[in-house]
Amino acid sequence: MLPEIDAVMAEVDVPGAAVAVLRDGVPLHARGYGHANLEWQTPVGTDTVFRLASLTKSFTATAILLLEADGRLGLDDRLADHLPGYPAPGRDVTLRQILHHTAGIPNYTALPGIYQDFAVRDHTPEELFGVFRDLPLDFPPGTAFRYSNSGYALLGGVIEARSGMPYADFVRERIFAPLGMTATRYLSDDPVVPHRAAGYRRAEGGYANAPHLSMTVPYSAGALGSTLNDLMRLDAALRRGDLLDHATQARMLEPLVLADGFPIGYGLGWRTSSYRGALVAHHAGGINGFSTFFARFRDGGLTIILLTNLGNFEPAALTRRLAEAVLGNRREPATPAAADPEVLARVAGAYLEGEALVTVERAGEGLDIRGPSLTAHLVPAAGAAFRAADDADTEVRFEGPHMVTTRPFSWSLAKRAL
């Protein structure tokens, strides 16, 4: 075990967590911290079952690629080719656009009131699709990036249509069983699941139980559950090229280029970014009572897996601390370059990150940015690139109408507001 990981986790305020660090698929550290159930004071182990939330998306993308290998679909097929009853305007988006979050399908988890009524009750996939299927697209397909749980829910419908079996059965038979992931499952509420963790939220004076959410609602976008042991098996299999060969895995990490030629840092079920020059594939998950993270360094074989039973937690920030502990590096303040007044004036303004407003204002020889992904003072780096004054690893880059914010294990795209 790695004492430096223990030292980081001793400072973390969560009910419970499980952390693994692997090198080339071989565990260097795998340990539980805190409690899987606060009421019973049950400790977290490497066999504790956590909800994965949006880590589910990498499994859903894998299922689509398995069906492609079977010859049952193509990534450039239209959605209506596999869900023929799906109405306009979304029927002509492609599976590839859905996988990359560039289809423009409105994100149902962002719709007003969705968690007050609809999300607490069970629904069929068709009922779930009915929440958003008739809504206009957020943008013409292929012209922008906007994270959409709706798209990955529709992919579950495609998997069921092309395989002839429920989504839960397909991922169990084609992914979990071949890899020996015996504790990984579609984590519905009804079954008695050994070693299942309870989920929590922060409350005055400590923690409270997380609010109920029917697992028919996150569906193929976020309803799977797993353990540290099983996710270590997954990482080892990916490193060996089992299930998906290395060429197919490389396809999953290729950026998609938008219609205006701008590449986005989201592949097929995985985000892509860099950390201190090293390329990393990663994904975060967040759902009622749980926050998760999976980071795989593409060179050097390092993997960090983090599972927690606390909702509205920032797993990427903790993953960064774990990476710094393992790699022995630490964040440094940025060294400002010379400011270009023309660049400062040109990039200042309002941007949209999804539907959220991001403001960029000139502040002395730099910029002040305020938005959902970053609030910081920026200093010039080179050209139209800037770095957070207190963190040289956080970069904001302006390219035409686009603003890309890159932090360790985090990537976001905003576009200038009209």
Pair 315, 410: CB distance under 8 Å: no
Final residue of a structural domain among 330, 354, 387: 330
Do 358 and 312 reside in the same domain of the chain? no
| 8 pLDDT above the threshold of 90 | yes
Whether 59 is in a domain gets the answer yes
> CB neighbours of 257 closer than 8 A, spacing ≥ 6?
263, 264
Pair 116, 94: CB distance under 8 Å: no
Whether 80 is in a domain gets the answer yes
Question: Tell me: the pLDDT tens digits for 209-254?
Answer: 999 999 999 999 999 999 999 999 999 999 999 999 999 999 999 9
Question: Tell me: the pLDDT tens digits for 288-319?
Answer: 999 999 999 998 899 999 999 999 999 999 99
Confidence of residue 199 (pLDDT cuts 50, 70, 90): very high
Final residue of a structural domain among 296, 330, 364: 330
> CB neighbours of 242 closer than 8 A, spacing ≥ 6?
178, 179
Number of domains in the chain: 2
Whether 336 is in a domain gets the answer no
- Classify 357 as helix, strand or coil: strand
Number of Cα atoms under 13 Å in the Cβ half of residue 42: 16
Identify the burial level of 251 via C-beta atoms within 10 angstroms of its C-beta, where 0-12 means exposed, 13-18 middle and 19 or more buried.
middle
The two most distant CA atoms of the chain are separated, in Å, by: 63
- The residue-averaged pLDDT of 183-194 equals 97
Confidence of residue 256 (pLDDT cuts 50, 70, 90): confident
Domain span including residue 70: 1-330
Give all strands (DSSP E) within 120-236, no chain letters.
185-186, 200-203, 206-209, 224-226
Whether 118 is in a domain gets the answer yes
Question: Which residue in 387, 405, 394, 276 sits closest to 336, CA to CA?
Answer: 387
Whether 295 is in a domain gets the answer yes
CATH code for the domain in which residue 6 is found: 3.40.710.10
Question: Which residue in 96, 103, 110, 94 sits closest to 146, CA to CA?
Answer: 103
Do 281 and 356 reside in the same domain of the chain? no
Do 324 and 353 reside in the same domain of the chain? no
Do 118 and 168 reside in the same domain of the chain? yes
How many Å apart are CA 152 and CA 224, to the nearest integer? 13
CATH code for the domain in which residue 385 is found: 2.40.128.50
Whether 170 is in a domain gets the answer yes
Question: Tell me: the pLDDT tens digits for 100-153?
Answer: 999 999 999 999 999 988 999 999 999 999 999 999 999 999 999 999 999 999
Q: What is the residue-averaged pLDDT of the chain?
A: 96
Give all strands (DSSP E) within 206-301, no chain letters.
206-209, 224-226, 271-275, 278-287, 290-297
Question: Which residue in 267, 217, 252 sits closest to 102, CA to CA?
Answer: 267
Final residue of a structural domain among 330, 351, 386: 330
Asked if residue 218 has a cis previous peptide bond (ω within 30° of 0), the answer is: no
- Report how far apart, in Å, the C-alpha atoms of 287 and of each of 9, 212, 274 are: 21, 10, 25
